[in-house]
Structures are given as C-alpha cells and as structure tokens.
Amino acid sequence: MRITLKRYPRWAVWSLAINGLLILAIAFVVVRQQIWSKRSLASSALPSVQLEMPSAIPNPELGERHQLNYQQWVTLLATEAEVAAKNRPEHLHILLGDSISLWFPPELLPENKTWLNQGISGETSLGLLRRLELIDKTEPEVIFVMIGINDLLKGIPDYTVVANQSLIVRYLQRVHPETKIVIQSVLPHSAEKATWEGKARLLEISNDRIQNINQNLADLAQKQNIIYLDLYSLFADTQGNLRTEFSSDGLHLNQEGYKLWRTALQVTTQLSEQ
C-alpha cells in the first residue's frame, strides 16, 4: 500500500506552528503569574511608534492624546506613517486596530523591530478600511490586524465585520505584496465579571458569537493564504470568557495581558522570518 504525503501550503504550516507554540506559551505565562505579583497597566504608556517625530508635531502626552477626536487621530497617525515612509526603518512591523492595539506598551513589543502603532480608540472595521492608505508608502515586513469588537458594540452585523476584514486583507495584499499579513482573532470579554463602563452593551455580545466570527476569520486567512493568529484561545478561560488576570476591566488588557500578547507576537515574527 502506497502512502502519499500531502504537501501543505506554507501559510498552513506557519499557522499550525504559531498556534501550537502559543499553547506552550500560555502555560509558561500562567506559571509565571503565580510567582510574580500583578502589575496594572502603566497609565503613562503611550501608543508605540519607535520613530522620531518631526519637531513641528510634538509627541503628545497621554492626556492630550485622550482628548483627540477621530479626525485628529487620523491626522496624527498619517504623520507618523509619513515619517516611517520617509525614513524606511529596517524590520518595520505595523499594528492596525482599535484601543486594544493602541495601548500596547512600547517597551513590551518584541525587540529588534521598528513598530508603527496605527491603532485608534473606538475604531471599527469600516473605519480601518477607509484609512489603510495612510500606510501605502511604508514598506513593512509584517502587518498585524485586530479589529471587530467595536463593530459588535455598535450593533454592526457579524457578516459585515467579516466582509470588511476580507476587504482589508485584499487591500493590504494588493498594496503590500511582499508583506506578511497576520489577521488576529477578536478577543473575548469577561462577561459578568467585566467592570467596563459599557458592560450592559458588552453582555449583549456572547463570546460564542465572537468565536463564530473568529472561525470565519480563520477561514478567510486560509482562503487568502495569510497567517491567522488565534489569540482568543490564549486569553479565554474554561467558559470561553476573557481571563480576569489579563484584563483591566473585562474588555481591555492589563500589563500581564500585553505580556502574553507579546509572546504571541514573538512566536509569530520568529516563525514568519523562516
């Protein structure tokens, strides 16, 4: 009897390796948490842009950034993207998303990379799609996308969330053909344990629904031959809810949550370079 060995596409090998190693990573982080005391997310953490800003547009403090409206945010991120496009930093990695990406502490991002954080608080999949041209002239090695929870909070249908992410992926592939695209799962929330001010709206969104969207995103990644990073499984407890030790309010991440996400990014970037 002849046994035929099937050749799997490279994206599949990457995804399997990445998500398999992340299972080991979470075990490590959980053990570490039992040893280390918890530390809340530093209130002074700024969005990650490891690029020198032009003197005409100073890098504002957290309080000032908090006061920006959406268009002001877009203008600021456009300026930062222009700096990246002009300076052509080596090993440029871009984060695209909402507040969860926005508040990633710069010091926790994987080293030896230049990180351009293009997250905006309250961002939706449509909003992100409409501002992708801001990074057209950059030359990133990897682009990480995480978007969708604000769509659900605004009552946008699941199929629209997935459809917009499909358009996002296709746009990025067309404009950045040499760049590795990583689509990340939507994170769960802490359900009844959440303390976020919009808890009532949050509870209207079941984590089973989020998981269904994530399955569609995984299918999208397979179809488009890109990497799917399953963060949901890393952050969820046995009930499928966001683990409280990784969250500040049941929706956003705390310092330990970003440490875990850092591990996921490290594994992903290392394997994608092979």
Higher per-residue confidence, 87 vs 1: 87
Q: Has residue 28 got a pLDDT over 80?
A: no
Q: Has residue 250 got a pLDDT over 70?
A: yes
Residue whose token pair is 């990457």:
14
> In sequence order, what are the residues at sequence separation of 6 or more whose Cβ sits closer than 8 angstroms to the Cβ of residue 144?
93, 94, 95, 96, 97, 101, 182, 184, 229, 265, 268
CB 100, CB 145: distance < 8 Å: no
Mean pLDDT of 153-160: 98
Give tens-digit pLDDT for 140-152: 999 999 999 999 9
Mean pLDDT of 260-264: 97
Q: pTM of the prediction?
A: 0.80
CB atoms within 10 A of CB 16: 11
Q: How far apart are CA 234 and CA 237, in angstroms?
A: 8
The confidence band for 271, taking pLDDT boundaries of 50, 70 and 90, is confident
Give tens-digit pLDDT for 91-120: 999 999 999 999 999 999 999 999 999 999
Q: Has residue 44 got a pLDDT over 50?
A: no
Here the tokens at position 139 are 């030359």
Helix, strand, or coil (residue 182):
strand
Residue 68, pLDDT score:
87
Give tens-digit pLDDT for 183-241: 999 999 999 999 999 999 999 999 999 999 999 999 999 999 999 999 999 999 999 99
| Whole-number percent of the chain with pLDDT over 90 | 73
Residue 175, pLDDT score:
98
Question: To the nearest whole number, what is the mean pLDDT of the chain?
Answer: 83
Q: Has residue 90 got a pLDDT over 80?
A: yes
Q: Has residue 17 got a pLDDT over 90?
A: no
CB 77, CB 118: distance < 8 Å: yes
The confidence band for 273, taking pLDDT boundaries of 50, 70 and 90, is confident
Higher per-residue confidence, 274 vs 135: 135
The confidence band for 274, taking pLDDT boundaries of 50, 70 and 90, is low
The confidence band for 19, taking pLDDT boundaries of 50, 70 and 90, is low
Residue 16, pLDDT score:
53
Q: Has residue 61 got a pLDDT over 50?
A: no
Residue 37, pLDDT score:
35
The confidence band for 3, taking pLDDT boundaries of 50, 70 and 90, is very low
